[in-house]
Amino acid sequence: MLRIIFQRLLGALPNLAGVIVITFLLTRAIPGDPAAYFAGASATQEAVEQVREQLGLNKPLIEQFGLYLGQLARGDLGLSLTTGQPVRDELLRRLPASLEVVALALLLSCAVALPMGVLAATRPGSWFDQLSRLVITAGVSLPTFFTGLLLAYVFYFLLGWAPSPLGRLDPVFSPPPTVTGFYLVDAALVGDAALWWASLKQLVLPVLTMAIFVLAPIARMTRASMIAILSSDFVRTARASGLTRTTVLVRYALRNALLPVVTTLGMVFGFMIGSSVIIEKVFGWPGVGSYAIDALTASDYAPVQGFVLAMGLLFVLLNLAIDVLYVLIDPRVSLEA
């Protein structure tokens, strides 16, 4: 198993190299002049050229790329010109904020979508099946920014049940000591129940917004996969053998239906990373998505390149985790394939 994992990681290196090259070229191709932006609107042409020289933008493109590769080899992702901080430190500080929302939203969507898909597959055409289709259609159709604004309007402005949807923590609280970067985990480690509850309340609306967005494809795939499995010969044999309904559904049908669902989870993760940019803007969440958007607006190359590279590494690790899950769910699956 370890040898296969190592081979998969080596096989991902060309993909990461492609990400580095394409991101470097695209950031240089986007409209806007970083030197003019940071020199100011009233700067003279000489001042702009001086800033361009300080940033190294007056050098040939191949030389800029060589300097960038040298920085990566040292683990240096560059310096953000908008914040003045190292990009690596900014990403490490902001990434847990984004992953906390994504992880909780994925857990919530799976907790709802998997039972919904299973029940809908066992009762095709019933009122529950029709209701689940309605929920799936709504989840696919509603844009995330609209869902987020609607939830904030209803639960914060009208009902007053949710806290102010701005940031990870209410201003009356101080962030917990950083251990993992996840506020829920760090607050639990220091044993501060009030801080943990305040962090959870701030997470409710963004997590619910993202969970509604990703619930639909998971429930749809679960339903379709379960319907196909329930009509197979081995399930009919299990029923004829006198096994209980729960045993047939969970041990035989659901376990075999999980493989395409796990594949869908891998694709859904990509959707969640993309939608997190919008959700972070709606709720003022200090994650990597909003950080990259702000840098892109300012033509700040280093944060954008660091963000894309970090997302590429996340996808490599995610695909590796999915491969391992395949083997855990069905030992007949071979990673060599």
Q: Residue 85: inside a domain, yes or no?
A: no
pLDDT in tens, 72-84: 888 778 778 777 7
Average pLDDT, rounded, for the chain: 80
Map residue 336 onto helix, strand or coil: coil
pLDDT at res. 4: 65
Beta partners for 79? 86
**Termini Cα distance of the chain:** 13
CATH label of the domain that carries residue 152: 1.10.3720.10
Q: Residue 135: inside a domain, yes or no?
A: yes
pLDDT in tens, 214-248: 888 888 888 888 888 888 888 788 788 877 777 87
DSSP 165-206: SSSSS-TTSPPPPPSSS-HHHHHHHTT-HHHHHHHHHHHHHH
Q: Which of 8-17, 266-275, 289-298 has the highest mean pLDDT?
A: 289-298
CA distance 284 to 140: 24
Q: Is 8 exposed, middle or buried (0-12, 13-18, 19+ CB in 10 A)?
A: middle
Number of domains in the chain: 1
Q: Residue 82: inside a domain, yes or no?
A: no
Q: Residue 6: inside a domain, yes or no?
A: no
Beta partners for 86? 79
Q: Residue 335: inside a domain, yes or no?
A: no
Q: State the residue range of the domain holding 195.
A: 94-329
Q: Residue 209: inside a domain, yes or no?
A: yes
Map residue 241 onto helix, strand or coil: coil
pLDDT at res. 104: 92
Using pLDDT thresholds of 50, 70 and 90, give the confidence band for residue 197.
Answer: very high
CA distances 120 to 210, 227, 312, Å, are 22, 9, 36
Question: Whole-model pTM?
Answer: 0.79
Using pLDDT thresholds of 50, 70 and 90, give the confidence band for residue 173.
Answer: confident
Using pLDDT thresholds of 50, 70 and 90, give the confidence band for residue 335.
Answer: low
Q: Residue 21: inside a domain, yes or no?
A: no
Q: Residue 234: inside a domain, yes or no?
A: yes
Residue 187: partners with Cβ closer than 8 Å, 6 or more residues away: 176, 195, 196, 199
pLDDT at res. 39: 63
Helix axes 2-11, 301-329, angle to 10 degrees: 150
pLDDT surpasses 80 at 319:
no
pLDDT in tens, 42-97: 667 777 777 777 666 677 778 778 877 887 888 778 778 777 788 888 888 888 98
> Which of 204, 213, 97, 98 has its CA nearest to residue 152?
204
CA distance 181 to 93: 7
Q: What are 266's two structure tokens? A: 């891998």
